[in-house]
Amino acid sequence: MPLSAKDFLLEKLDSLSLHKLARFWSQPSVIDYAQGSIAGSVCGASWFLALSYLKMDMIPEARALTLNGGFFHQCLKTPIDEIVGMCGPTWDESIEYHLLPLFSRGFNSVDSTEKMEAYLESGLPKEHQHMM
């Protein structure tokens, strides 16, 4: 991930949203990360980091990275341009989360550490966790 992503994710800990993720990752300088196989790599890296933060009891950071991973997981199925279109021209359209089920799973997992840990572990095979 680009260094600008770290600053973006960790400064928006309490206010990170789908709209903010779409706006950030659709910028010309970083949009390539949200497309193709790179999106899958960023998704896995985000989840791995989220699980690491969760184990260090750094819950806000784990939430931000879980949401970021969920966003990238959704980008594997729904092109980022479509997600951006759902946000509307002024980035304030209400989005029906059932249209983005992969992101919704991540979003719904962050209300408790137990749910978040289960979600992250389901997305990261044990071999991958051990290897990292």
The stretches in the chain having pLDDT less than 70 are 126-132
User: Closest Cα partner for 21 from 32, 5, 36, 35?
Assistant: 5
Tens-place pLDDT, residues 9-29: 988 777 889 999 999 999 999
Which tokens go with 64?
Answer: 């931000």
pLDDT value of residue 57: 97
Instruction: Decide if 69 contacts 47 (C-beta within 8 A).
Output: yes
